[in-house]
Amino acid sequence: MKTFYKSLLITAEEAGIKMLSDARCCQLLAWVLEIGGYTEESTHNFKLNQDIHIAQKRLNILGGETPKAELVTIFQKYHSELLNFLNKKTKKPQWLIDFENYYRLKPYKNN
């Protein structure tokens, strides 16, 4: 199953088919930047890791490349929403709740 999912993602991307939306790619990278590195789940969730890799390619941030400007603004929106939640300025964004459910992650508690 793991190999099939990885092959499916790669084939779709090479064919120009977006299995992950641009928004989901930006959400993934915002989550990785602010929360992902602090969770064991980020290393053991195969689907999450494959999707993160696709997100990095989509935003063109592998190996010191220039990020795609049109996606940077979308990323900044999700990153800002996440920072506001982490700084206790707002409640948990709905996209983060949906994200955690989709990848079967433990809900992040902002204590």
Dump pLDDT digits (tens) for 51-93.
999 999 899 988 778 888 999 999 999 999 999 999 999 999 9
pLDDT at 48: 92
Taking alpha carbons only, the member of 59, 83, 84 closest to residue 72 is 59
Nearest CA among 97, 101, 102 for reference residue 85: 97
Q: What is the DSSP string of 21-83?
A: -HHHHHHHHHHHHHTGGG-THHHH-HHHHHHHHHHHHHTT-SSSPPPPHHHHHHHHHHHHHHH
pLDDT at residue 106 is higher than 90: no
Q: Are 50 and 9 in contact (CB under 8 A)?
A: yes
Taking the domains of the chain in order of start, what are their residue ranges?
2-102
pTM here?
A: 0.87
